[in-house]
Amino acid sequence: MNDKKEILDRGPFFHGTKAELKLGDLLEPLYLSNFQDKKSNYIYFTATLDAAKWGAELARAQSKERIYIIEPLGEFENDPNLTDKRFPGNPTRSYRSKFPLKIIAELKTWERHSDQEINQMQTHLKTLTEQGKNVIYD
């Protein structure tokens, strides 16, 4: 993962989802992905509220959108699905880990993207999927 043991980011860290979790719960890899019909080898998170909002808004479940403040319990790396592929230099501050993430709080109030922005993003992702370009390298 992070061979140099450097600190990639000091956070705070967020995880956007539609899963209902409690303080102290652990988010772990090898569970069904929020975005694809497969188990994910990693658990994904971000240090930007905007990216966490997208995670919550675009998750496939049909329940309430939630953003949790999390604590990584092990090493993590830049998310290669975004870093230098879609957003050079990782401006979304997106990461992944094979270690659990501990829920330390839920962000109770936050401003959603507009319905128009969400619809545009969903349309864009659908187009990428149709072109075979919406791939998560996991």
Instruction: Go through the domains of the chain in sequence order and give each one's CATH number.
Output: 13-113 (3.20.170.40)
The reported pLDDT for the residue numbered 58 is 87
φ, ψ for residue 43, nearest 5 deg:
-110, 135
Nearest one of 137, 41, 47 to 98, comparing CA atoms = 41
The packing angle between helices 49-58 and 115-130, to 10°, is 70
- Ramachandran bin of 30, using left for φ above 0, alpha for ψ from -120 to 50, beta for the remaining angles: left
Name the 3-class secondary structure at 59: coil
**Is-contact 29 97, C-beta < 8 A?**
yes
pLDDT tens sequence across 24-49: 999 988 655 555 565 678 999 999 99
Q: Using a pLDDT cut of 90, give the percent of the chain over it.
A: 46
